[in-house]
Amino acid sequence: MKPRLYYAPGTCALAAHAALREAGAEFDLELVSFADEQQRSPVFLAMNPLGRVPVLETEHGVLTENPAILAYIARAWPGSGLDSVGDLWVTAQVDSFNVFVGSSLHPAFAHLFRPYRYADGDEHRTAVSAKAPQVIGEMFDIVEARLGASSAAGPWVHGARFTTSDPYLCVMSRWGARTGVLKAERHPRVLAHLALVQARPSVAQALAAEGLTSI
């Protein structure tokens, strides 16, 4: 069977979507309508009890958690250019960055977008949302410094080579630009990286397929 990616437009599933295109994979794309709360349906919760996208259904079974999905895509299509499994250290660095995005940068946005997960009571939720831009900004400061350190080697997160970290960061940067947290004077490298990644054919095709445009 072809792998099937469950996604919702503009969510972090866009990273896995672009990675599949970058890898040259044949795959099916399955929309999960958040408006209809399909992510809370019994069928979907049986695949991912967290009720979140992306979910990748493969011939082996169901895989959840974006950094794990991205690592799987990089390995399952060797020769795609995403695969760095032959290099233990490059693989570790890509894993590390993607886990940082998944456990720090993305959750910082979740506090902005979905404060009800973290506190009960309107006034407390407002306080959680209000704090989030500060944390998001600090997380992007870390990314900005990192892009500065790798920029001598090349334009991508890990230097000369495009990896799954690039579309994953791109999704976060799109949210950062849309919410106004990313600022040209504070995060110039992040914004330059965003423009570059959105122009990458695999990412541009994924955006178009999800009905989205570049930011």
Binding site for its own copies (CB under 8 A): 49-50, 58, 60-61, 63-69, 71-72, 75-76, 85, 88-89, 91-93, 95-96, 98-100, 102-104, 106-107, 111, 117-121, 123-124, 127-128, 130-131, 135, 142, 145
Local structure of residue 156 (DSSP, 8 states): B
Output the CA–CA distances (angstroms, integers) from residue 96 to 65, 103, 115, 133, in the order listed.
14, 10, 26, 23
Least CB distance from residue 201 to its own copies, whole Å? Answer: 26
Least CB distance from residue 199 to its own copies, whole Å? Answer: 28
Per the CB < 8 A criterion, the answer to whether 102 and 50 are in contact is no
Least CB distance from residue 126 to its own copies, whole Å? Answer: 9
Cβ-based nearer residue to its own copies, 31 or 130? 130
Cβ-based nearer residue to its own copies, 67 or 207? 67
Least CB distance from residue 127 to its own copies, whole Å? Answer: 4
Least CB distance from residue 66 to its own copies, whole Å? Answer: 8
35, 32, 29: which is closest to 16 by C-alpha? 29
In terms of DSSP bridges, do strands 28-31 and 4-7 run parallel, antiparallel, or are they unpaired?
Answer: parallel
Q: Token pair for residue 164?
A: 């799954």
Q: 3-class SS at 119? A: coil
Cβ-based nearer residue to its own copies, 86 or 180? 86
Tally Cβ neighbours within 10 Å of residue 211: 8
Least CB distance from residue 64 to its own copies, whole Å? Answer: 6
Cβ-based nearer residue to its own copies, 85 or 215? 85
Cβ-based nearer residue to its own copies, 29 or 99? 99
Per the CB < 8 A criterion, the answer to whether 4 and 63 are in contact is no
Q: 3-class SS at 23? A: coil
Cβ-based nearer residue to its own copies, 90 or 204? 90
Q: Report the alpha-carbon distance of residue 170 to residue 98 in Å, rounded.
A: 12
